[in-house]
Structure 1
Amino acid sequence: MADVNPFYLGTFVVYLIIVLALGVWGYTKTSDVMDFWVFGQEMGPWLATWSFVANFVSAVSVIGFIGAVYGEGYTLMTHTIFGLMLGISALYFVVDRIRNLDVLTFPDLIANVTGYQIARPIAGTVLLGNAWIYLIMQLVGASLLVTTITGAPYRYMVWVIGTVFIVYTVLGGMVSVAWTDLLQGTLMVGAVLLSLGYMMFDLGGFTAINQQFASIDSSYVHPTAEGAYTLIGIAAIIVAFFGTIFTEQNYIVRIAATRDVRAAKLHLAASGVILAVFYTALVVLGGATTVALETTGLSVETQDNAFPTLITDYVPSSVGVIIILAVMSAILSTTDTRLHSTGITTARDLYSYFRPESSDDTQLKVSRMATVFFGITATAAAVNPPGSIIELYNFRAVLLTSAFLIPVYGGLYWVGLSSRAILASVVTGAILGVGAEFAGGLYGVPSAFVGLGSALLVLFIGHVLLSDSEPKGGTIASD
């Protein structure tokens, strides 16, 4: 603790107090389960935009992506970020159909297109696994940062941060999440742009950064890292991350939380513009981080430590505190969203399926209990994480896209598609996609394509065999 920077530690403590205060305030504004789940479906485009932006940018984006640029260069823009931005653009064109269905969650949407309520717990189970992995990533990123800047033991910081976000999320649900996202989203975007401005001034401008970045390793400025990625590998990553935009529980919940279709479309359009600028700045900041660390001889143990090391060992405290605000905003804003989604998934998609007669008060209680449970277990897992941030991020992208992209949106737009074939496609895509990811691909085929291909094959064969022997989907029905 001798190396503690009191300026950084004080900023961190004040920040946590502010978000906790917003959580308490959100509790006073949460009167029923619809407030807790979807803001009473009264969220306007301005608040929804910044909530979407803050939720979208995470520990992966700031620490993980800058670490990825440190390790591989600008190629991140070629696949992962391009896939994400393409997904937001495409979601804009289907949001009106989703919003008009008046569904609250992604499993609701699947139940709608299949006509089978059993789809809700099946899909909900997959989504809970995804949310839990994402929570671990966020806690790892936050704790790495705070440990680096304060000197406090990592295992303690995990529990401090985990406890804070559990408390304010469980208090106010979507009300707390949305208003803390507004604060965190504006801080995050502004702080990253200011930090990039400082680094460009310090290193001689954008051209100088790129020239020095290329001199470290010429592959860093090549769109495929000069052979590190094949075209089929890049295509698979683009598709995997494109698919996550359509299959994340929290994006469907945010669409449901808007007051109408116009607000839903406006918030996606505005978010897309803001995020495109943000990620471009973030990747350039990753290049600047690499140049700064390399030219000053600063080494890091893992690529995830690159950005925290820049804060503690390169930039002055006045700039470092701005960066800390950006990173903490990114991490907590996404963490509370994923944690909130575990509560609504458990109560809405699992508990209410098995207990359809349960009251709103009971479902609100179940939501809060699930929030606490998943928060605590994810915090415990983050003490000894099963992989790097970017590795966990890639895994859950394959899981979501393989399981849901083709069957769910095929059912949404293909009238008369076999409902049982859709459910079989979801299960098959999830199992084979994840299995191939664990195996590192299948005979040279990327895991995302294994999952998508198997889902498409089962969907087609199942439709041919079953379409004449069952009622068709399109409206939510009982089993």
Structure 2
Amino acid sequence: MVSVESVNPFYLGAFVIYLLIVLAIGAWGYTRTKTKDDFWVYGKNLGKWLATWSLVANFFSAVAAIGVIGEFAQTGWAIMVGVNFGLALGISALYFVSHKIRELDKVTLPDIVASVTGREYARPITGVILFGNAWVYLIIQLVGASVLVTAITGVPYRYMVWVIGIVFITYTVMGGLISVAWTDLLQGTVMIALMTLAAIYLVVDLGGLTAMNAQFAAIDPSYVTPLGDGTYTLLTVVSSIVAFFGTIFTSQNVIIRINATKDIETTKFHLAMGGVIIGSFFVVTSILGAATGVALNNAGLTVADPDRAFPVLIMQYLPTSIGTVVILGIMSAILSTTDTRLHAIGVTVSRDIYDYFKPGMSDEHQLKVSRTATVVFGLLATAVGASPPGSIFELYNFRAVLLTTGLLIPIYVALYWRGLDGRAIIASMVFGAVCGVGTELLGGELFGVPATLLGVGVAIAVLGSSVATSHLSAVPTD
């Protein structure tokens, strides 16, 4: 049972109002969703600013708002070197290959892989990898949102994770990408504005940037060094950059948005402008991480679980008025990504997996399958989120390894080297993913090589052996 004394009515009321607003947008989106293309890709009519803010809102999630800030508070600036730099590079690279994606005129990433390999069975193989990524990411968002709301409202976690899961399943199912894009516009704007104000407040409260950084260094000198306390080596930094670089181009939701924009000009604009906003906001989240570490230390607060660092700061350090502002900003970051992953799951299951085994479905049936998959796998993710298998940052790193080792090299090669045997590309995907994920599950390294680099290396080796074999077979014999 929930103890009335433990519930904060002020925070709980703000959260309830927030959920009602996004549900209203979902209901409006339902009235605009008539076909599967409306549900999947906004009728391929997504405009510049709506696409931009949808990209920005999708980009920042429980990982940035809670996971990275918590890790930053306990690790220091070193996390920027691998994670933030890798993600920024990924957006830049995507800008320069987006025209290749648009030229293919497809809906999803598995569609693209099937097209460039000439093998239809590439669709479910790619779809399974993307489904795994989206599902793990969805669990991350549900965990992050529930940890935060539980901390600030006093409602037990086991109840809150189901409330959040069901609300976001409901409005995503109703309006598809239409609901997702418009709620992203609201949530992205709120997130950027309010979390920036929170960062400014904390910096001023701690005496300015220079004073804050000096206090951060006083806690542990390694916090302000590029590679931290030795946990990060040059090899692990390179591995991290590659991993997070790979997650951008190979994310189903990003590809869907590119194909949902109304023309190539809109595509380029939303990637360029989104990249500027995201890069700037990286600075805000980094400052919030350092400020959280300093503020908690100054208040004598010790937090063992990094995922609870920022929620504890809100509840026990910030004034209620400022805390409310921060909470709305964080919730916007988390929940804008929750609906995106839910939507990606529905599209992936229907278009890329189910359609392969049962081709020729009517548009109505495909739309029904998309909505059903959103509900079923959303509820399963909520059930897992009720007892998560790891911290937010650990889960995030796992899905980064999965995406990068399975898809990064094969897909980039396939886009630019059309003469390569499609079977070699698919084999590269499978062996790279199995090796990378297997290594990650065994502890993250094998023979001293990080999982990401090992998986990518295997993917390259498989492609290389195919090229070598084809050259040898082409050599004339006497």
- Identify which of 288, 292, 303 aligns with 1:289: 292
1:20-419 equivalent positions in 2, closer than 5 A:
20-419=23-422
Contact 1:4–1:150 (8 Å) recurs in 2: yes
Which residue matches 1:442? 446
Aligned equivalents of 1:156, 1:467: Cα separation in 2: 60
Aligned equivalents of 1:220, 1:301: Cα separation in 2: 17
Output one character per residue of 1:2-44: Cα deviation in whole Å (capped at 9) or x when no partner.
Answer: 2322111110000000000000000000010000000000001
Aligned equivalents of 2:229, 2:145: Cα separation in 1: 32
- Identify which of 440, 464, 478 aligns with 1:460: 464
In the TM superposition, what is the alpha-carbon distance from 1:469 to its structure 2 partner? 9.0
- 1:464 maps to amino acid: A
What is the TM-score when the length of structure 1 is the normalising length?
A: 0.97
In the TM superposition, what is the alpha-carbon distance from 1:438 to its structure 2 partner? 1.2
Taking structure 1 as reference, are residues 469 and 108 closer, same or farther at Cα in structure 2, changes over 3 Å only?
farther
- 1:452 maps to amino acid: V
Aligned equivalents of 1:329, 1:245: Cα separation in 2: 20
Aligned equivalents of 1:424, 1:404: Cα separation in 2: 11
Gaps of 5+ in 1: 471-479
Aligned equivalents of 2:295, 2:232: Cα separation in 1: 26
- 2:327 maps to amino acid: I
Contact 1:100–1:261 (8 Å) recurs in 2: no
Aligned equivalents of 2:166, 2:452: Cα separation in 1: 35
- 1:153 maps to amino acid: P
In the TM superposition, what is the alpha-carbon distance from 1:462 to its structure 2 partner? 2.3
In the TM superposition, what is the alpha-carbon distance from 1:390 to its structure 2 partner? 0.2
Output one character per residue of 1:31-90: Cα deviation in whole Å (capped at 9) or x when no partner.
Answer: 100000000000011100000000010000110011111120111111101000010011
Aligned equivalents of 2:437, 2:306: Cα separation in 1: 25
- 1:5 maps to amino acid: N
What is the TM-score when the length of structure 2 is the normalising length?
A: 0.97
Please, what is the CA RMSD of the aligned residues? 1.2
Aligned equivalents of 2:200, 2:232: Cα separation in 1: 31
Output one character per residue of 1:213-232: Cα deviation in whole Å (capped at 9) or x when no partner.
Answer: 00000100111004221101
Output one character per residue of 1:155-184: Cα deviation in whole Å (capped at 9) or x when no partner.
Answer: 000000000000000000000000000000
- 1:348 maps to amino acid: R
4+ residue runs over 2 A deviation: 462-470
- Is 1:451 aligned with 2:455? yes
Gaps of 5+ in 2: none
SS at structure 2 position matched to 1:397? helix
Identity rate, percent: 59
Aligned length: 470
Contact 2:127–2:348 (8 Å) recurs in 1: yes
More displaced 10-residue stretch of structure 1: 92-101 or 364-373: 92-101
Which residue matches 1:477? none
Aligned equivalents of 1:301, 1:450: Cα separation in 2: 31
In the TM superposition, what is the alpha-carbon distance from 1:467 to its structure 2 partner? 7.8
SS at structure 2 position matched to 1:459? helix
- 1:111 maps to amino acid: A
In the TM superposition, what is the alpha-carbon distance from 1:301 to its structure 2 partner? 3.4
Output one character per residue of 1:384-434: Cα deviation in whole Å (capped at 9) or x when no partner.
Answer: 100000000001001100001111110110130111100100100010000
- 1:32 maps to amino acid: T
Aligned equivalents of 2:133, 2:469: Cα separation in 1: 31
More displaced 10-residue stretch of structure 1: 455-464 or 282-291: 455-464
Aligned equivalents of 2:150, 2:160: Cα separation in 1: 7
In the TM superposition, what is the alpha-carbon distance from 1:465 to its structure 2 partner? 3.1
Aligned equivalents of 2:103, 2:356: Cα separation in 1: 22
Aligned equivalents of 1:37, 1:469: Cα separation in 2: 44
In the TM superposition, what is the alpha-carbon distance from 1:468 to its structure 2 partner? 9.5
In the TM superposition, what is the alpha-carbon distance from 1:466 to its structure 2 partner? 5.4
Contact 1:289–1:310 (8 Å) recurs in 2: yes
Contact 1:420–1:466 (8 Å) recurs in 2: no
